Amino acid sequence: MEGLMMQYPLTTTAILEYGNRAFQHKKVISYLPDGSRHAYSFGDLHKRCKKLANVLTQKLGITKGDMVGTYAWNHYQHLELYYGIPGIGAVCHTINIRLSSQQTEFIINHSEDKVIFVDATLAPLLEKIAAQLETVECYVLINAPEGFSTTLPNTMHYEDLLEGQSEEFEWPSLDENQACGMCYTSGTTGLPKGVLYSHRSTYLHASTVLAPNAANCSNRDVVLLIVPQFHVMAWGFPYMCVLTGADMVMPSLHLQPEAIIDMLQKEKITKANGVPTIWLGVYEAMKKNPPKEKLALQEYLVGGSALPASLIDGFERDFGIRGVHAWGMTETSPLGTVSRLQRKHAQLGQKEQLEIRAKQGTEFPGIEMRIVMDDGSIAPRDGKTMGELQVKGAWVLHSYFKTHNQENFTKDGWFRTGDVSTIDADGYMQITDRTKDLIKSGGEWISSVALESALMSHPRIKEAAVIAIPDATWSERPLASVVLADKNETVTPKELMEFLGRDFAKYQIPDQYVFLGEVPKTSVGKFNKKEIRRLYAEGKLT
């Protein structure tokens, strides 16, 4: 028997309209590329999204199902694109500004973007490849100063287009399963692949992520969106904040630790997101120059790569700010798990609590996960047995955009993440590695992530990335590349081996160490192990 409830499509427009009805006075604050501060309300956002919808449909000829690219920082105009484009039934394709020219060209041609909205500061990056972009009819410049010139063809200005447009627009009714956004994987493991989000998946993801077990955001929060809007929809925060009525602060290109600390102070930010590299930088800067007044920041949600226990511990001990560890992928919208302590953990000691919080955590409602071993059987939830992490759920993709490759999916409908993990009896998942980053030495697996976390807890080490290198006897051995916290200090391989000896078996401890000025990073700030392996193979890592 069918239920007798209304069909109410879960769309991004429903989020925008709700935000306007329930939280019209809430604020969106942007620190624009030129350093100026812009503030307006959810009510203003709503009006401008309607103006934008008029521009898209009447001036730019965008129709349902068209791809519209954005190549922009985090700010209010990008937020308007997040609602205006899907609102008319088109797809908001956020292009990662940190990819190589070659990858960017591939992505734009592959997705068939018709128009690209580009921040003026980023226009030079697109100029280099514009001649090769086959489908782009025009470029709309955002935040272009007076007299700005570019070689991009067919350019218009965002504000000129919106100027004088009507604030009336009747949103078309949309099927919630229609596409609303697209993001390509950053290509850490091969050519970027397109992930096409639906209105429904985006709505469900946002409404789950705001919950207390997850990002824990409400209409009493001021949220700093550090995760770029060009990467996995800023973890859904631009939708989540409107849905929960949290004020939003958008930093555009002001991502240096000092700029972030300044925003945390001035805007009385209570929650924020970001990859570990960002928070490591903020922590180091705060230690050197502690803020005079206690920050309003209560928690920062971290994912993208493992959050070292030492960082969780340091931030909380020194500044009373909680790090909350989450895991996800472009393919999972992205948030899949989050690690929070439960009531029964209160009696544990601090070290045990930290161990749990440094795990990637339990799955969100709406997501299921399992660990599959090499022989195809499901691993027990014992916190020890490793295997491939597979997930399914309401915001997990079932195929990539325009590819029929099914190797990432199992016959029984699970997505193969490529991460190697364990799940413990309480349901906390822990990533041991990516499949190709695991080190197999003498037939035994060694986790590079565990070694990195341990090395980064050493007081004189800032960053550590561990890769497998070929070895005649053991087939592979770990090599640690480390960055010192202070260039004037030293630490010897012997000291590091002794340090690791406290937690690791002898065979797991790297015997080779290289000291770098900086660990190469990917477009989204993760350790770029592909690059480290390449440097090693070319003999440039000594």
Element (H, E) at 243: helix 237-244
Binding to ligand ADP, residues 199-258 (CB under 6 A)? none
Name the one range near ligand ADP by CB under 6 A: 10-18, 129-137, 180-188, 510-518. 180-188
| 327/338 Cα distance (integer angstroms) | 6
> Which burial class, exposed, middle or buried, applies to 481 when counting CB atoms under 10 A from its CB (0-12, 13-18, 19+)?
buried
Catalytic residue among 159, 163, 402, 445: 445
Decide: is 452 part of the binding site for ligand ADP (CB under 6 A): no
DSSP 377: P
Decide: is 277 part of the binding site for ligand ADP (CB under 6 A): no
Q: How many CB atoms lie within 10 A of CB 330?
A: 21
Decide: is 103 part of the binding site for ligand ADP (CB under 6 A): no
Residue 502 identity (one-letter amino acid): R
Binding to ligand ADP, residues 321-340 (CB under 6 A)? 325, 327-330
Catalytic residue among 266, 268, 402, 440: 440
Decide: is 431 part of the binding site for ligand ADP (CB under 6 A): yes
CB 403 to ligand ADP: min, Å: 15
Q: Which is nearer to ligand ADP, 19 or 328 (CB)?
A: 328
Interface characters, 136-175, with ligand ADP (x: CB under 6 A): ----------------------------------------
Tell me, rounded to whole angstroms, the distance of Cα 53 from its chain centroid: 27
Residue 331 bears catalytic tag: yes
Sign of the torsion angle spanned by Cα atoms 412, 418, 422, 426 = negative
Sign of the torsion angle spanned by Cα atoms 162, 168, 169, 171 = positive
| Helix, strand, or coil (residue 499) | helix
Element (H, E) at 235: helix 232-235
Catalytic residue among 11, 104, 185, 432: 185
Decide: is 303 part of the binding site for ligand ADP (CB under 6 A): yes
Q: Which is nearer to ligand ADP, 94 or 165 (CB)?
A: 94
CB 450 to ligand ADP: min, Å: 11
Decide: is 305 part of the binding site for ligand ADP (CB under 6 A): yes
Decide: is 306 part of the binding site for ligand ADP (CB under 6 A): yes
| 387/375 Cα distance (integer angstroms) | 10
Q: Please pick, from the candidates 185, 333, 421, 432, the single residue that binds ligand ADP as defined by CB under 6 A.
A: 185
Name the one range near ligand ADP by CB under 6 A: 44-52, 74-82, 300-308, 340-348. 300-308
CB 154 to ligand ADP: min, Å: 31
How many residues does this entry show for the chain?
Answer: 542
- Comparing CA positions, the residue from 198, 225, 238, 263 lying closest to residue 396 is 198
CB 284 to ligand ADP: min, Å: 20
Binding to ligand ADP, residues 510-529 (CB under 6 A)? 524
DSSP 175: -
CB 167 to ligand ADP: min, Å: 37
Catalytic residue among 80, 105, 299, 331: 331
Name the one range near ligand ADP by CB under 6 A: 92-100, 393-401, 411-419, 475-483. 411-419
> Where on the phi/psi map is residue 383: left (φ > 0), alpha (ψ -120 to 50), or beta?
left
Name the one range near ligand ADP by CB under 6 A: 242-250, 279-287, 297-305, 468-476. 297-305
CB 433 to ligand ADP: min, Å: 8
Helix, strand, coil % over all residues of the chain, rounded to 5: 30, 25, 40
With contacts defined by CB under 6 A, how many residues of the chain interact with ligand ADP?
20
| 76/250 Cα distance (integer angstroms) | 7
- Residue 241 phi/psi, 5° resolution? -65, -40
Decide: is 536 part of the binding site for ligand ADP (CB under 6 A): no
Question: CA geometry: angle at 372 spanning 325 and 339, to 5°?
Answer: 15
Q: Please pick, from the candidates 105, 113, 313, 419, the single residue that binds ligand ADP as defined by CB under 6 A.
A: 419
How many helices (H) and strands (E) the chain has is answered by 16, 25
The packing angle between helices 12-22 and 237-244, to 10°, is 40
Sheet bearing 113-119, strands edge to edge = 155-157, 138-142, 113-119, 67-71, 91-94, 179-184, 194-198
Name the one range near ligand ADP by CB under 6 A: 5-13, 250-258, 417-425, 462-470. 417-425
Give the dihedral of Cα atoms 3, 6, 9, 12; nearest 10 deg: -120
Pairing state between β 439-441 and 67-71: unpaired
CB 330 to ligand ADP: min, Å: 4
Decide: is 416 part of the binding site for ligand ADP (CB under 6 A): no
CB 194 to ligand ADP: min, Å: 12
CB 526 to ligand ADP: min, Å: 6
Q: DSSP string covering 423-448, please?
A: E-TT--EEEEEEGGG-EEETTEEE-H
Q: Which is nearer to ligand ADP, 233 or 240 (CB)?
A: 233
CB 302 to ligand ADP: min, Å: 7
Residue 440 bears catalytic tag: yes
Q: Please pick, from the candidates 360, 432, 448, 481, the single residue that binds ligand ADP as defined by CB under 6 A.
A: 360
User: Distances from the Cα of 540 to the Cαs of 367, 462, 527, in angstroms?
Assistant: 42, 21, 17
**Catalytic residue numbers?**
185, 331, 440, 445
Residues of the shown chain interacting with ligand ADP in the complex, contacts defined by CB under 6 A: 185-188, 303-306, 325, 327-330, 360, 417-419, 431, 434, 524
